[in-house]
Structure 1
Amino acid sequence: MFSWLGRTVSSCLSPLSQYAHMNKDDDEYSGGEDDVLLWSKDLEKHSHGEFSFAVVQANAVLEDQSQVETGRNATFVGVCGNKELSTMANVVSLRRLLHAVRGLARENGEISEDTLRSAFSETENGFLTLVRRAYAIRPVIAAIGSCCLVGVIWKRTLYIANLGDSRAVMGYSDRSNKIVAEQLTKDHNASTEDVRKELRDLHPEDSQIVVMKHGVWRIKGIIQVSRSIGDAYLKRPEYGLDPSFPRFHLPEPLRRPILRADPTIITRNLRPNDKFLIFASDGLWDYVTNQEAVEIVNNNPRVGIARRLLLSAIEKAAKTKRMPYNEIKKLEQGMRRQVHDDITIVVIFIDPETLDSKTSARELSVRGFVDTVGPSNFNFS
Structure 2
Amino acid sequence: MRIFLNMHYEFMLWMEKVNEWKDKPIHRIYVATEHGLTSNLVEKYFKEFSEAGCKLVIDPFVGTGTVLIEAQKRGVECIGIDANPWALLVSKAKTTPIASAEQLVMRVSSVLSKSDDDIFIPTKALEKYYTSKNLSILGNLRYLLELPTLRKYKPLLLTLFCKIAERYSKLMKSPAPRFRRKCKRIYSRQKLFEEFLQEVHLAVNDLRFLKSSSVHLILADSTSWLPEKFDGILTSPPFMNNIDYIRHSQLSLYWCGLANDSEDLSRLRSMQLVSCEAGVRRWKKVSDERYVNSIVRKITGSRKQGYSLFVKQYAYYFEQHLTLLAERLQWQAWYTIGDSFLGGAYIPLHRIIMRLAKKHNLKVIIEKLCNRIARGRKLYLLKMISKG
TM over 0.5: no
Say which structure, 1 or 2, has more relative contact order (CA 8 Å, 6+ apart): 1
Task: Flag the structure with higher strand content.
Answer: 1
Task: Flag the structure with higher helix content.
Answer: 2
Question: What TM-score, normalized to structure 1?
Answer: 0.26
Q: Larger C-alpha radius of gyration, 1 or 2?
A: 2
